[in-house]
Structure 1
Amino acid sequence: MKKTLILFLLALTTITAQAQMQAPALGIRAGANYSGFSGDNADNLDRMFGFHAGITSQFYLTSDNFFAIQPELLFSTKGAESKDDNTKWKISYLDVPVLARVNAGPLYFEGGPQASFRVGGDIEVGGNNVVDDLDMFKRTSFGYAAGIGLATPLGVSVGVRYNGDISKLYDDDSVSDARNNVFMLTLAYMFGGSR
């Protein structure tokens, strides 16, 4: 895991170092998650609501700010629940997406890889916490994110994003090949307005 994290941070540093020396735009992001599991045995599970919140930035690669690299650090709650709402898998992650962003007027498009680091969670049955130790789930997972949204000159933007894991949810290959997937409604504010 340490090697993977070091390689991921090295790639992020290389990308941002190649950006023009224009100061990056910094901001905050928060919103709602609608998460579920995909893969084996996921058909009998429902999605559940959660949230995400964290910091975002944009490193502009063109002088007109048309193209940018957008790294983020987001706390994100994910999981799924049984169809009778009796059992809930609640897992918390630190998501680190590194997105390519195209600013086409007020409309923007984004997409790229994402690393997720499990930081907590539990499994509830009948409203009672039955499992606190989630070591059965992988600590690190990799996936992708893609989205579209609207940005205002005041620095406020609203968008929708989908992110899905390529990595399996469980460490034990004999259990299931379930993976996280999340629809996000996200609101961001870039300090200093848009450029």
Structure 2
Amino acid sequence: MKKNQKFGIFTGIGIVFLLLTFAPQGQAQSENPGPRVGIKGGANFSQFFVDQPTVDDENMKVGLHFGIFTKIALTDFLAIQPELLYTSLGSKVSYGGSDVESLLGIREGEVRFNLNYIQLPLGLAFNIGPLNVNAGPYVSYLISANVKDLKSSDLSTSDPIELNKDDFNSIDYGLFAGVGFDIGNVSIGARYNHGLREVGSEGLGGTLTNNSRNGVAQIFLGFGF
């Protein structure tokens, strides 16, 4: 039943995206600068802040994102910009102390979380000449996840960490805001995504990422058709 519900949700999202992409765009959009439909991609600088007393330090993980976008003008200055992206998030977390070893069966060291999502941001873009300011909500679906011990000599035991996507929440959602420049059919910009749902689910995934949410800064380059 859950699989059918998820399939229905993302089928509906895909249909909405296609309708927005190919809908009549009107005279107002012809006066709006920048690409109307295109591809984009760039770098992610992600981190989540673990509320966990045995965490010594957290470091940024570098990932990537890429996908398609469309811009639908509402007025000369205002447009809706839906996107469909693959995005790779996560964080590097250093654990230490006897509590981790006794509770989770690992020794102190650094662990890298790799979380890969399909994301649908739905932005409202305010255009001021070539400059645009955009913000809005997003929803993401987790397609894969893994945890890697970066210091195997420190962390390896008879019961090593084995986490996969079942240890993390499949649906993530949050808000984003950013700025961009449209130069002809080329777009460049930066954005920040702030997750509103906890990353980990119940069990070991929830314990290791206690109360953590996705946070990611992005830089991107887009090309319009």
Judge same fold: TM > 0.5, yes or no.
Answer: yes
**Aligned residue for 1:93?**
117
**Aligned residue for 2:194?**
164
- For the residue of structure 1 that corresponds to 2:164, the secondary structure is coil
Structure with greater helix percent? 2
Mapped partners of 2:40, 2:94: distance in 1: 31
Within 5 Å, which residues of 2 pair with 1:111-130?
111-126=135-150
Q: How far 1:76 sits from its partner (Å)? A: 0.4
- For the residue of structure 2 that corresponds to 1:80, the secondary structure is strand
Q: How far 1:131 sits from its partner (Å)? A: 3.1
Do residues 57 (structure 1) and 70 (structure 2) align?
A: yes
**What residue ranges of structure 2 are gaps of 5+ in the alignment?**
30-34, 96-108, 153-159
Q: Deviations over 1:11-32 (max 9, x none)?
A: 957x949x86438921001000
- For the residue of structure 1 that corresponds to 2:9, the secondary structure is helix
Do residues 26 (structure 1) and 26 (structure 2) align?
A: no
2:130 alignment partner, one of 90, 101, 106: 106
Mapped partners of 1:98, 1:135: distance in 2: 27
- For the residue of structure 2 that corresponds to 1:131, the secondary structure is coil
8 Å contact from structure 1 (residues 16, 69) kept in 2: no
Greater CA deviation, 28-37 or 124-133?
Answer: 124-133
Mapped partners of 1:43, 1:118: distance in 2: 27
Q: How far 1:82 sits from its partner (Å)? A: 2.5
8 Å contact from structure 1 (residues 101, 111) kept in 2: yes
The TM-score, its normalising length taken from structure 2, stands at 0.72
Mapped partners of 1:94, 1:6: distance in 2: 10
The one-letter amino acid of 1:86's match is: E
Q: Deviations over 1:131-186 (max 9, x none)?
A: 35221100011101110121102x11111100011011122296311101100011
Mapped partners of 1:166, 1:147: distance in 2: 17
Q: How far 1:7 sits from its partner (Å)? A: 10
- For the residue of structure 2 that corresponds to 1:38, the secondary structure is coil
The TM-score, its normalising length taken from structure 1, stands at 0.82
2:174 alignment partner, one of 135, 143, 147: 143
Large movers: runs of 4+ above 4 Å: 10-13, 127-130
